[in-house]
Amino acid sequence: MQTVYLHDTLNPITISDSAFALIKELTLQNKVCRWCEKPYKDDRPEVAANSCLYCFVERYEKKPLAFLESEKIDQEESRQFKFIDPEGYLVLTTAKSYGEPGPSIFETIKGWGFPLPETVTIGDTTIPLGNQGWAVYGDFRSNSVIVTLCTTEKSTFPFLSYRKGACVYLDKRRGETKKLYLAARHHLRTSKDSEGRYRYKQYESDFLSSSVLYPLIADLASAQYDKPQQERT
Amino acid sequence: MHSITLDEQDTFVVADTVFEKVQKLLIQHRICRVCEKSYTEESPMIAANLCLECFLRENSSVHLTVVPTVPDENGVTVYRFLDPEGYIYTCSPASESSEAYESISLTLAYWGFPDVASVELEGKPVELDPTDATIYGDLKTNSVVVVSKRKKAGRLEVSFLSYKNGPCVYLDKAKGYTRKVWREAESQYLATKDARGRYHYKERVSRQPFQSDIYCLLSDNESAKYDQKT
């Protein structure tokens, strides 16, 4: 026994399993894009639920959205589609993506050549980090170093990620990363404006928040990292 | 262009021609959600995804019997069921609920008693709530019943004498013929007070007088008179 709904109504129609299989086959073979009403083809794939490639790109809020590539993601011929928005963020979709999918920060960071750790070890504890809950600070298109932040159920872990290099835990209390952190704090404290606000580029805050600190740390670390290379050239 | 949701989660858009085919398949292969059997003339779908047999089984405590269907104002078939007291129960064809509900308007119509939607009181029309109504009197044997309704969005209750296949008369307790018959029924009822101070209407015995019993007695009295006339 199966249920079918027509026209987004809340009135279910109960049918037999055999009829459901027939209807499912008929429906899947004859899907059309809800915007242009054209059937899907190899050069007009369904990139989001009921939306073809062209209509999806045309209707995406942040324009222009550029299609990059697609890849098979399972045995059932399902494909994942990769797009890039004007700010450089990568957007991933499948034919089951409803609404307007936001950018994938994890894929964006990796896509721009910055490594991300799979785990973090704090003291004796190793915590696994997935591909969710990531944030990025610093311009990942031009910087050679960015700050990435992973929020897990346990805590929030910041990292310094070097393009095509290493990814190190941004420890505020010890080592080289502590120096960077303190330098950034000092820089912000001295640049406090007359209204008592901390500002860096387009970021501002009433207190020394990570939203202002981390972009600055990313830039300071990039400058440090780029300097010896520039001197060499 | 139409949408079809399968597996309770995935919605697909298809062209008109394909949708028509899907609709045909759905009509041909609809089954009852309880017994999983196809609908037949003997056991049609009477509520959403529910066949007649399963509907009656699920409402077995009310002891309903099927009476012929009628079309509503939109031409949609209304399934009707009679309970042992003569009340008509129905179900909503669009509702997922399998529960039968009592309908006063369908009950009055079934037994040939006229109904009213509004009444004029002190020269002003008063709209009555069709969902808040009560019938007094034996529907199966009486030819006159008392119907009480409430004013829409108000507490005011107004009653009527509903004559089978005849008029529906406002039961004015202050003047005219209706006052006279009301007074008669009231006196008759109050006279049933026994040595223990209890009032009687048929098998019902109560420590205090009830207006509902007077209405029932009025229904009996008026029926006797109406039967003689017709």
Contact across the interface for A26 and B21, Cβ inside 8 Å = yes
**Cα distance from A82 to chain B (closest Cα, Å)?**
22
Residues 6+ apart with CB under 8 A from B122: none
DSSP letters, A54-86, are: HHHHHH-SSS--EEEEEEE-STT--EEEEEE-T
B144 shares a domain with B201: yes
Provide the pLDDT for residue A232.
65
Number of domains in chain B: 3
Provide the pLDDT for residue B225.
96
* B146 contacts B162 by C-beta, under 8 angstroms: yes
Contact across the interface for B49 and A12, Cβ inside 8 Å = yes
B118 shares a domain with B13: no
B142 shares a domain with B76: no
B223 shares a domain with B118: yes
d(CA A8, CA A23): 16
Residues 6+ apart with CB under 8 A from B123: none
B84 shares a domain with B166: no
Contact across the interface for B10 and A11, Cβ inside 8 Å = no
B56 shares a domain with B9: no
B199 shares a domain with B172: yes
B225 shares a domain with B117: yes
* B127 contacts B117 by C-beta, under 8 angstroms: yes
What six digits make up the tokens of A32?
A: 């059309």
Nearest to A207 by CA among A189, A190, A194, A220: A189
Provide the pLDDT for residue B230.
77
Parent domain of B2: 1-30
Residues of chain B neighbouring A7 (CB-CB closer than 8 A)? 2-3
B126 shares a domain with B84: no
Provide the pLDDT for residue A122.
83
Contact across the interface for A14 and B25, Cβ inside 8 Å = no
Q: How would you write the pLDDT of chain A (233 residues) with one tens digit per residue?
A: 999 999 877 788 999 999 999 999 999 999 999 999 999 999 999 999 999 999 999 999 888 899 999 998 877 778 999 999 999 999 999 999 988 888 999 999 999 999 999 999 888 889 999 999 999 999 999 999 999 999 998 889 999 999 999 999 999 888 889 999 999 999 998 888 888 899 899 898 989 888 999 999 999 999 999 887 777 66
Nearest to A220 by CA among A160, A173, A171: A160
Among B83, B102, B121, residue at a domain's last position? B102
Contact across the interface for B1 and A37, Cβ inside 8 Å = yes
Among B102, B132, B147, residue at a domain's last position? B102
Give this prediction's pTM.
0.69
B198 shares a domain with B152: yes
Give the residues of chain B that fall short of pLDDT 70: 93
B24 shares a domain with B46: no
**Cα distance from B145 to chain A (closest Cα, Å)?**
39
**Cα distance from B211 to chain A (closest Cα, Å)?**
44
* A159 contacts A187 by C-beta, under 8 angstroms: no
**Cα distance from A41 to chain B (closest Cα, Å)?**
14
d(CA B129, CA A226): 81
* B85 contacts B45 by C-beta, under 8 angstroms: no
Phi first, then psi: give them for residue B26, nearest 5 degrees.
-65, -45
> Considering only alpha carbons, which residue of chain A is nearest residue B35?
A1
B192 shares a domain with B116: yes
Among B80, B102, B124, residue at a domain's last position? B102
SS3 content of chain A, % helix, strand, coil (to 5): 30, 30, 40
Helix (H, G, I), strand (E, B) or coil at B223: helix
Provide the pLDDT for residue A233.
65
d(CA B170, CA B160): 4
